[in-house]
Amino acid sequence: MLLNLEVKKEKKITRQRTLRKQIACRGIALHSGQDVSLTLKPAPANTGVTLYRTDVEANVPARWDLVVDTRMCTVLSNNEGVTVSTVEHLMAALAGCGIDNAKVELNASEVPIMDGSSEPFVRMIEKAGVVEQSVPRRVIRVHKAIKVKVGGAEVSIEPGDSIKLSLEIEFQSKVISHQALSLGLFNGSFRKELSSARTFGFLDEVKQLRAAGLAKGGSLENAVVVSGDKVLNEGGLRFDDEFVRHKMLDALGDLYLAGAPIIGCFKGAKSGHAANNALLRALFADENAWSYDVLRGEESDRAMDGGLHAQSEIVVSTP
């Protein structure tokens, strides 16, 4: 007698994640120069990332369609005109650490710059701990290539099976010149390769920026400063190509304003905040270019940065 046995394949589905407990920091705002207190808090599943201004008691959701300024940083504004600026480094840390839901409380209109990178926020997340939630993690899957040009910048997103970024920049300064980098976000690559790359600027632009009411909190403690063919920071650069690594960090933070990880290949040439946001607007304007999905099986490992992965997973059975 033969028995027909139906064998079911188990496929793992990655769950949403939030912080285990709240954690706080204080720092200087890069552009306003204000002393800012910031607290990262756990948030329920399916709520995403929300910034809460305690000084005016207003929520500002971290969403691409609420970006209102991209000239020197990424600025968000809610329907009442309450803004939060310089969100990109914090958003990159949340993206790189796989945090889906979080409440960010701050008592000013700008996220503190810390050391100019995402690393202080990553350390905060590591110290607070990460917990998985009972809901599958939602991702945005790219189905066709989207390309936009903004000024001299060109960016695109194409279908792929993981989160991959490729970026090239070019400046007249011999310290920077032409730099290019390609990176897949898995096996802890964000933590090791991007998180500590600092923002940068040029000494001869400082007076102009401050006259415009910007960079009031900028210093060698929170930015790489280039003067002529020299880096003024004691100790020099953290990476030989720290400049392109920071631009990639910025792009990751800007793209996380999509509200979920984007499974696809991002490419940028001379890109910045304006082009990154324009790409998201073009992507979401074409309903055939993307869809929501969940990650299953080995794809989950390929598409996620493993730096802060928890061990437990939802397991579902499919025929």
Q: Per the structure block, which two tokens stand in for 242?
A: 């720290």
Q: Is 273 a catalytic residue?
A: yes
State the DSSP string of 79-104: TT--EEE--HHHHHHHHHTT--BEEE
Non-local CB neighbours of 166 within 8 Å, separated by 6+ positions: 180, 181, 182, 183, 265, 266, 267, 268
- 36: nearest Cα among 27, 47, 24, 45: 27
Collapsing DSSP to helix, strand or coil, 122 comes out as helix
Please classify residue 9 by burial: count the beta carbons closer than 10 Å to its beta carbon, then call 0-12 exposed, 13-18 middle and 19+ buried: exposed
Question: Which among 31, 246, 273, 309 is annotated as catalytic?
Answer: 273
Q: What is the amino acid identity at position 164?
A: K
- Any idea which residues carry the catalytic annotation? 273
